[in-house]
């Protein structure tokens, strides 16, 4: 849950075809329905969730959540730029008692509209902040591609501040400069539990995470 602080500091209808983490694409034009109607339409298109998971929605994002996990969310509106955060973990947590293993969704809307770096540029800024404070050997994986309107980035690194439990943090960025949205999906776990937790939770969640491109900005 350490990465939330860094990210916060930088502070879509049948057109609602889900855009998955491993299959991003540009949605066709159309008019967006109300949020609840949109979720209902998307649910009709979804396959069954993996065993032990249920489909969950937060703002423009959909993902399978492990049954029994605790969840909390928050919303910040700073000068028109909205920053929505959702987090889930097998153990209950709070700002004062953050989790070590968990999944986080951060959605930033109206960035360029309100004179902030556009979503694709914000992605670069966030990653550079992490890389500046970590050694080269801490960077485990980096991948970047363009899929339709989406700037897609995967970034994984080791985080081990003095006196804290070493963690592996996997980030998935979906930046859409056309809709002026940036979605950041994060799975993190203590390093000594990473292989198990990634197999049981991280990979099933991230491989089926998607966004709804036509989701209206706040």
Question: Which pLDDT belongs to residue 79?
Answer: 87
Q: Tokens at residue 44, please?
A: 């009709």
Please say whether the beta carbons of 80 and 110 come within 8 A. Answer: yes
How many Cβ atoms sit within 10 Å of the Cβ of residue 192?
11
Residue 143 lies in a domain: yes
Question: Which pLDDT belongs to residue 37?
Answer: 85
Please say whether the beta carbons of 21 and 191 come within 8 A. Answer: no
Question: Which pLDDT belongs to residue 59?
Answer: 94
Residue 46 lies in a domain: yes
Residue 217 lies in a domain: no
Per the structure, the complete domain to which residue 143 belongs is given by 2-211
From CA 91, how far away is CA 69, in angstroms rounded? 7
Q: How would you write the pLDDT of the chain (218 residues) with one tens digit per residue?
A: 655 433 433 332 222 334 445 543 434 444 446 788 889 989 999 999 999 999 999 999 999 999 999 999 999 988 889 999 999 999 999 989 999 999 999 999 999 999 999 999 999 999 999 999 999 999 999 999 999 999 999 999 999 999 999 999 999 999 999 999 999 999 999 999 999 999 999 999 999 999 998 888 87
Residue 193 lies in a domain: yes
Question: Which pLDDT belongs to residue 38?
Answer: 87
Question: Which pLDDT belongs to residue 10?
Answer: 38
Question: Which pLDDT belongs to residue 17?
Answer: 37
Please say whether the beta carbons of 138 and 14 come within 8 A. Answer: no
Rg of the chain (C-alpha set): 17
Residue 70 lies in a domain: yes
Tell me the CATH number at 128.
Answer: 3.40.1000.10
Rounded to two decimals, the pTM is: 0.85
Residue 4's φ and ψ, nearest 5 degrees, are -60, -40
Q: 42-49: long-range contacts at Cβ-Cβ below 8 A with a sequence spacing of 24 or more? A: 42/16, 42/18, 42/212, 45/17, 45/18, 46/18, 49/208
Residue 133 lies in a domain: yes
State CA 202 to chain mean position distance: 12
Question: Which pLDDT belongs to residue 4?
Answer: 43
Question: Which pLDDT belongs to residue 2?
Answer: 55
The number of folded domains in the chain is: 1
Q: Tokens at residue 140, please?
A: 């485990």
Residue 190 lies in a domain: yes
């Amino acid at each position: 849950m350490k990465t939330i602080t860094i990210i916060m500091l930088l502070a879509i209808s049948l057109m609602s075809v889900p855009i998955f983490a491993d299959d991003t694409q540009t949605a066709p034009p159309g008019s967006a329905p109300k949020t609840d109607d949109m979720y209902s339409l998307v649910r009709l298109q979804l396959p069954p969730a993996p065993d032990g998971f249920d489909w969950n929605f937060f703002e423009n994002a959909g993902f399978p959540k492990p049954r029994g996990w605790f969840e909390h969310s928050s919303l910040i509106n700073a000068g028109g730029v909205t920053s929505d955060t959702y987090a889930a973990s097998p153990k209950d947590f709070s700002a004062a008692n953050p989790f070590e293993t968990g999944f986080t969704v951060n959605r930033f809307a109206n960035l360029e509209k309100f004179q902030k770096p556009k979503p694709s540029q914000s992605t670069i800024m966030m990653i550079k902040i992490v890389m500046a404070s970590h050694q080269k050997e801490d960077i485990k994986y980096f991948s970047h591609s363009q899929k339709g309107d989406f700037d897609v980035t995967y970034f994984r690194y080791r985080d081990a501040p003095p006196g804290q439990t070493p963690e592996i943090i996997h980030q998935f960025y979906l930046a859409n400069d056309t809709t002026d949205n940036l979605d950041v999906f994060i799975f993190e776990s203590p390093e000594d539990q990473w292989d198990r937790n990634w197999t049981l939770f991280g990979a099933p969640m991230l491989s089926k995470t998607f966004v709804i491109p036509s989701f209206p900005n706040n």
